[in-house]
Amino acid sequence: MTINKEDKILIIGAGGQIGVELLEYLNSLYGSSNVVAADLKPSDAFAQNPFEILDVLDKNALINVVKKHDIKQVYLLAALLSATAEKNPLYGWQLNMQGLFNILDLAKEKQIQKVYWPSSIAAFGTTTPRQNTPQYTVMEPTTVYGISKQAGERWCEYYHLKYGVDVRSLRYPGLISYKSAPGGGTTDYAVHIFHEALKHKKYECFLSEYTTLPMMYMPDAIKATAEIMHAPAEQIKIRGAYNVAAFSFNPKEIANEIQKHIPEFSISYNPDFRQEIANTWPQSINDAEARQHWHWQHQYQLPQMVTDMLKNLKK
C-alpha cells in the first residue's frame, strides 16, 4: 500500500456501521490527528479525532470543513440504506446523489485529491444473473437505494473520465460487524441474529429461510477499502465500482452455524417488505477483476466470522 502520511482525511458518516471501523483503521495508518470524523451527531467513537458536525448536503459547510482541516481525501459514507430509503424514497435519492455530487465537485475543483464512495450489490436487479454475478452484466435495480448506487457508479466514472477525478469504489455485499449497529439495510438481519442469539437464544428473521445473499465480515470490508484507496492509480482500471466478494449464506445456514456455538438457539421466519428487496439482489458475486487488478483477497469465511462475532459480542 502506498500511504502519504501527510494527507488529511475526512470521513463523512463516521458514526455509522462502516465509519467507526474505518476511522479506527485509518487512525492506525495516518494518526488520529490526521483523520477528521464528520457526522450529523457526535459519538464516543470519535474521542481521539478532530470532529465536525456536518450535513453533507450543506455544500458551504462542507467546503469550510475541507478548507479548515486542509483535507486531501474524503471517504463518503453518509447515505440512506436499502430499507430506510424505501420508506423515504425522495430523501434517499437526494442524500445518496446530492451528497455524492457535492464531494465529486470538490474533487473536480481540485479542492480535494481523492474520493472513496461505496456502491453495493443493490446496484444489480432482477434481470441480473443471480449466481456468480459478473462485474459487467445487466443492471436494472428496482429499489431507490439500488438506483442511486447504479447512477452513482456512472457519475463516478464520468467525473474520472471527464475531469480526471481520482474516485474509487466497491460494490460491498452485506456487511457483518459487532462494533457499531447497522443503519437500516436488508442484510442487517445477519447482525441482529447474533445479538438475539446471545440475549434471548432465539431470533425472528425478517427474511425467509432460503434467502441467499452475498456477505462479508467487516475486517475484510475495511481491508478492501484501504487496499483500493492505497493502490497505485494505474491498477484501478474500473472507475465505476468493483465487485468484491467473500461468502454467501441464507438465514437457515447462519442459524445452523450459530447453533454449533449455542445449541439451544432457534430461528423463526416472518418475512416483511425487505424480502422483496432481497429477492432482487444477486446470491453470489464474481470479483475476478478486483482480484486481478489490485490483488484483492478476503480472509474470513462464514465459520470464522461466526466464531469471531460471538467471541467479541460476549465481551
Cβ closer to ligand NAD: 77 or 165?
A: 77
Q: Is 217 helix (H, G, I), strand (E, B) or coil?
A: strand
Q: Which three cell numbers stand for residue 246?
A: 467473500
Q: How many CB atoms lie within 10 A of CB 188?
A: 22
Binding residues for ligand SER, rule CB under 6 A, total 9
Residue 14 is classified by DSSP as T
Cβ closer to ligand NAD: 2 or 60?
A: 60
Strand partners, 35: 9
Give yes or no for residue 17 binding ligand SER (CB under 6 A).
Answer: no
- Residue numbers 149-188 binding ligand SER by CB under 6 A: 174, 185-187
Cα separation, 118 vs 147, in Å, equals 14
Q: Which three cell numbers stand for residue 99?
A: 451528497
Q: How far is the CB of 62 from ligand NAD (least distance, A)?
A: 9
Give yes or no for residue 81 binding ligand SER (CB under 6 A).
Answer: yes
CB-CB contact of 111 with 94 (8 Å): no
Q: How far is the CB of 260 from ligand SER (least distance, A)?
A: 25
CB-CB contact of 225 with 116 (8 Å): yes
Cα separation, 286 vs 132, in Å, equals 5
Q: How many CB atoms lie within 10 A of CB 270?
A: 10
Cα separation, 156 vs 154, in Å, equals 5
Query: Residue 19 touches which of ligand NAD, ligand SER, none (CB < 5 to 8 A by kind)?
Result: ligand NAD
Query: Residue 186 touches which of ligand SER, ligand NAD, none (CB < 5 to 8 A by kind)?
Result: ligand SER
Strand partners, 266: 202
Query: Residue 240 touches which of ligand NAD, ligand SER, none (CB < 5 to 8 A by kind)?
Result: none
Q: Is the dihedral of CA 221, 223, 229, 234 positive or negative?
A: negative
Task: From residue 283, give the alpha-carbon distance in Å to each of 5, 128, 246, 249.
Answer: 39, 10, 12, 8
Selected from 73, 82, 225, 250, the binder of ligand SER by CB under 6 A is: 82
CB-CB contact of 181 with 132 (8 Å): no
Cβ closer to ligand SER: 166 or 253?
A: 253
Cβ closer to ligand SER: 145 or 265?
A: 145
Pairing of strands 213-217, 247-249: antiparallel
Residues that bind ligand NAD (CB under 6 A): 12-13, 15-19, 39-40, 54-57, 77-79, 81, 95, 118, 120, 172, 174-175, 182-185, 187
Q: How far is the CB of 103 from ligand NAD (least distance, A)?
A: 11
Query: Mask: binding to ligand SER, 106-125, rule CB under 6 A, as x and -?
Result: --------------x-x---
Q: How far is the CB of 263 from ligand NAD (least distance, A)?
A: 29
Q: Which three cell numbers stand for residue 5?
A: 502520511
- State the catalytic residue, choosing from 116, 145, 172, 242: 145
Query: Residue 245 touches which of ligand NAD, ligand SER, none (CB < 5 to 8 A by kind)?
Result: none
Q: How far is the CB of 79 from ligand SER (least distance, A)?
A: 9
Residue 145: active-site member:
yes
Residue ranges in contact with ligand SER by CB under 6 A: 81-82, 120, 122, 145, 174, 185-187
Residues labelled catalytic? 145
